[in-house]
Amino acid sequence: MQEQILAAQEELASQTFEATAGGGAIKAVVSGSQRVVSVELQKQVIDPDDPEMLGDLVVAAVNSALDMASEAADTQLGGMSGGMDLGGLLG
């Protein structure tokens, strides 16, 4: 079972999850191992007079993508644990 979990973790780590914020003006991509892969900004969302809004949009997109990765980990790995407490293995 441990080998199955490790294989599932490797497969999950190779996946990416994408989320947007601000009507698609910000795009965040994270890996299944919950690392930020990239953040893309459209020029029109960059307002030098409102940097807080830009920061909020980046945070929203990244958190949404991380939530997707976490849900995928729960789905892909949760069933393998058979109710065992795996500590931090699921993310």
Domain spans, the chain: 2-78
CATH number for 2-78: choose from 2.40.10.340, 3.30.1310.10, 3.20.20.300, 1.20.1730.10.
Answer: 3.30.1310.10
Residue 87 pLDDT grade (very low, low, confident, very high; cuts 50, 70, 90): low
What is the distance between the alpha carbons of residues 47 and 54, in angstroms, rounded to a whole number?
Answer: 8
Please identify which residue in the block is written with the tokens 């299944």.
Answer: 32
Residue 79 pLDDT grade (very low, low, confident, very high; cuts 50, 70, 90): low
pLDDT for the residue numbered 71? 93
Residue that wins the pLDDT comparison between 1 and 30: 30
Going across the sheet that includes 36-41, the strands are: 16-21, 26-31, 36-41
Secondary structure E strands in 1-91: 16-21, 26-31, 36-41
pLDDT for the residue numbered 85? 54
16 strand-pairing partners? 31
